[in-house]
Structure 1
Amino acid sequence: MEQRKRAETAASEPQIWLNSVNRKNKTALIEWMRHSNISLVQVNGQRMYGAPPPGWLGDAPPHGSEIFIGNLPQEIYEDTLIPLFQSVGKLYEFRLMMTFSGLNRGFAYARYSSRRVADQAIAQLGSYEIQPGFKMFVCRSTEKCELMLDGLPGFMDHTVLEDILVKMTTGVETVSLYASLTSDMKNMAIVKYNSHKAAALAKKSLCEGNRTMYGCLFTVDWLQQSVRMKLQSGMLAKPNFFLPQSYNKQVTPEKFTPNAVECLHLLCEKLKLGQPVYQIKFLRHGNCGWLRFSYWVQIPKHEVPFTGYAWLVGDKLIPTEKYQQAKEMVALRIMKELEKSWGPLFLNSGYSWS
C-alpha cells in the first residue's frame, strides 16, 4: 500500500510541475529527458545532473574544475544548457538553481573532468548569446567550502558541535571553534566541507527554520575574507567557556555538563517562584533530522505560562532523550525571559544566559 502511494505521488509530480508557469519549455524538458535517458534530481532549490554521470570511473574532478554560469534567461532548462556545455567536454556535474514556481534563478554551475576543460568552457562560452539579449557570464567558480556559524553558546564544546553538524549536514571535514567576534561570551565556528555543493546545501539547511542551538540564536554565512585573514594570522581567540556561578565553585569545568533544566530549577527556588511544570509535544520531522515541537511551561508564581515552538536535532534519539533535549532548550529560553523580567535581581542570583 505504501509503495503504491509513493508511485502515485511520483506520477503526479510532473503534472503538478507542468500546471505552473512556463509550461511549454517544461514539457520540452521532460521529453528531452525521456529521449536522452538523462536523470535530474531536485534538492533544496537546485536541480542536479551527474555527480557522477553514467559511465564515470575514478574520483571526482579536482578543485578548480567547476565554472559559474550567470545571466541565464529564467525560462530555459537543462535540455538547452547541458548539451551546450557538453559540447566543450565531458560534464561531471551540472546544477541549475531553481525557484518555487519552476523557473531557473538565472545561474548554474558546471563541473568538468579537469581544470583544463573548465578553462576551455570559460573561453568558448564566456560571452555566448544563448537568447537574443542574453549573453551568458561564465567564470571559474570560487567553490567556497567554509561556513561561519556565529553566536553559539559558550558552554557547548567542539565535540558536541561537530556531532550536531555531522547529523544535520553532509560532507563535514573539519570544525574549528573560536571566540565570537561580535558577541561577548558566545563562540564562532568555522566549518569546512568537502565540496562547494556540500557547503551550499549545508548553508541552506542550517538557515531553514528556527536557527537556535541550545536556546541561542546563531547566524550562518560564508567565511568572510576578513575573518579568514585573522584565522591565518592566528588572531582569533580561543573559544569562551562559561557556566553558572553557583556551579563554578563546586565542580571543575572539565567534569561539568551544563544542565539548563537544573539551573532553572535552582533559579526558581532562589526567586521563590515555584517549580516549572513542562508540557512538550513533538509535531513533525524537518530537514536533515530536525524535530519540531511545541511547549507550554507553567511556573506557579509567574503571571503567564511560557509557550512557543522550537526545533532540535533528534531523528536518531530515543523518546526520553528527545524529551530531555527539548526541556533543555525550553529551560534556556525561559531563563532568558526571566532575565528580562527580573533584571538586577536575576543577575545577582548568579545566573546569566544572554
Structure 2
Amino acid sequence: MAEGTIYMWSVNQANKAAHEAWVKETGIQLVQINGQRKYGGPPPGWAGSAPPSGSEVFIGKIPQDIYEDKLIPLFQSVGRLYEFRLMMTFSGLNRGFAYARYTSRHNAQEAIATLNNFEIQASYPIVVCRSTDKCELCIDGLALSVREDHLLPMLQELTTGVLSISLHLSPCRRERQLAEVKYISHHAAAIAKKALVEGSLCLCGDDIEVDWLKPNIKQKLHNTSKQAFPGILPSKYFHRDAPSKIPSGLVDSYMQPAVGSVLDYLNLQCEERQLGLPLFLTKCVQKNREGWLRFWYQVVIPKYPFPLSGFIWIKPGHSGMEDHEEAKNAVALQLLKILGCPVV
C-alpha cells in the first residue's frame, strides 16, 4: 500500500476504550514519539544485539481505528516481536500502516507468508511485506547556486547521522537541483525527515520539498546523468569560491595539446558533442590584497539543460592573457571536468 492512502475514518470510541483496557491489563509499554507509537526496540528482558537486517515487515491497509490491542497479539502469534511501530495522526487515528520487527529473519518471512491478505476485520485484508530500510531522503527545489559544501554543514546542524549528499538536476522542477541525502540508518533518516518537513529548511528563499528518495526517482537521476552527459559528475557543480588559477603548462597536459587554450578545447568538445558553442558572460566583482580577482560568470551552452553560473578566483598576469580571458579559461576548465572531457 502506498503510504499516502487515505481512509475516511473517525475515532471509534469503543475501539479506543478496548485499547486502553488492553494496555492497562497487559502492562505493555507504548511510547509515542515523532508521529508513531512504539513497543519495544528492545522489548522487556531483551539481551544481546539488535536483530539483523531483513527481520522487519511492513504492514499496510490497516483500518485507521484499529490499534495495538489487535495488531500486536496478531503479529506475535507468528514469532517474538523485537519492536512494533504504529504510525499515528494527531487526531488519534493510525495512519494506515505499521512496522513489525521480529527477532529473526525467519519470523519475518513467516509473518509475510501467514498474514499477508489476512482480513483484520470483514472486507479489510491487510498487506504484509518485507520492509526496506529506507535511509535516503531527497530535497527537491534547491537553487542551482546551492553547493554541497554549503548544504552539508546545514544538514549536519539540523539533523544527525548524515553519511553523504549528492546534487542532481531535478527531474520535476525546471532549473532546480535535487539533493540525494543518505543517513546512517532508517531511524536517523525518519527523524531527519520529520525535522526537515516540520522545520524551516530555507535556502535562498526557495520552496523546498523533503521526502523519501523513491527507487524510481533514484534510478532516473543516475540514468539521466549517464545518458545525457557521459562522464558527468552530478554532485560536483563548478561554482568555485576560493582562490584558484590554471596551473602552468595546463594546456600541454590535455590529450589534444595542439589546442591553443582551455577555452578553445572546450569549444571543440562542445562542437563534437553537438551541444553548441558556449556563450560566456564575466564580471570582476572583487580584488583581494594578494592581487587575486574574483569573477562572477554565467555560461550558456545551447543544448545544455540550464545556464551555469557562479564565482571563481584567478591570479592575473602569469599567462599573458587579459583578465576576462583568463577567467573564461579557468571556468572552461571546470566545464570540461563536468562534461567528462578527456584530461590527463
Task: Please state whether the residue corresponding to 1:231 is helix, strand or coil.
Answer: helix
Instruction: Choose which of 214, 223, 231 in structure 1 pairs with 2:222.
Output: 231
Radius of gyration: which is bigger?
2
Partner of 2:153: 163
Match of 2:70 among 60, 74, 80: 80
Equivalent position amino acid for 1:75 in 2: D
Q: Does 1:119 align with 2:109?
A: yes
Return the offset for 1:77: 0.7
Alignment CA distance shift 1:38-1:255 (3 Å): farther
Change (3 A) 1:210 1:167: closer
Write the distance in 1 (CA, Å) between the matches of 2:202 and 2:99.
Answer: 31
What is the CA-CA distance between 1:165 and the residue it aligns to? 1.9
The residue that corresponds to 1:30 in the other structure is 20
2: CA distance between counterparts of 1:122 and 1:176?
Answer: 35
- Alpha-carbon separation, structure 2, partners of 1:255 and 1:57: 63
| Change beyond 3 A, Cα 1:70–1:62 | same
Shift of 1:158: 3.0
Q: Distance in 2 between matches of 1:57 and 1:213?
A: 45
Q: Which residue of 2 aligns with 1:56?
A: 46
Q: Which runs of 4+ in 1 moved over 6 A?
A: none
1:180 Cα offset (Å): 4.6
SS in 2 for 1:102: coil
Deviation, structure 1 residue 124: 1.1
State which of 90, 94, 100 in structure 2 corresponds to 1:100.
90
Q: 1:214 to 1:93 in 2, by over 3 A?
A: farther
Q: Give deviations 1:250-288, integer Å, cap 9, x for gaps.
A: 369x999xxxxxxxxxxxxxxxxxxxxxxxxxxxxxxxx
Q: Distance in 1 between matches of 2:168 and 2:237?
A: 4
In structure 1, the residue matched to 2:32 is 42
Contact 1:150 1:180 in 2 (8 A): yes
Work out which of the residue numbers 107, 127, 136 in structure 2 matches 1:146: 136
SS in 2 for 1:121: helix
Identity %: 52
Amino acid at match of 1:83: P
Partner of 2:287, secondary structure, is: coil
When normalised by structure 1's length, the TM-score is 0.57
Equivalenced residue count is: 237
Give 1:75 shift.
1.4
Q: Which amino acid aligns with 1:222?
A: W
SS at match of 1:212: coil
Read off the aligned partner of 2:28 and give its amino acid letter: I
| Aligned amino acid, residue 250 of structure 1 | K
Please say if 1:250 is aligned against 2:240: no
Tell me how far apart the structure 2 counterparts of residues 241 and 100 of structure 1 sit (CA, whole Å). Answer: 43
Change (3 A) 1:104 1:180: closer
Instruction: Report which of the two has the higher share of helix.
Output: 1
Query: Match of 2:239, as an amino acid?
Result: F
Deviations 1:158-211 (CA, angstroms, capped at 9, x unpaired): 344233223323433322344555667754321112333432332233222555
Structure 1 portions without partners, runs of 5+: 1-19, 257-354
Inter-CA distance 57–248: structure 2 relative to 1 (3 Å threshold): farther
Change in CA separation of 1:119 and 1:26 when aligned onto 2, cut-off 3 Å: same
SS at match of 1:54: coil
Q: Sort the Cα spacing of 1:111 and 1:170 in 2 relative to 1 into closer, same or farther, 3 A.
A: farther
What are structure 2's unaligned runs of at least 5 residues?
A: 1-9, 242-281, 295-344
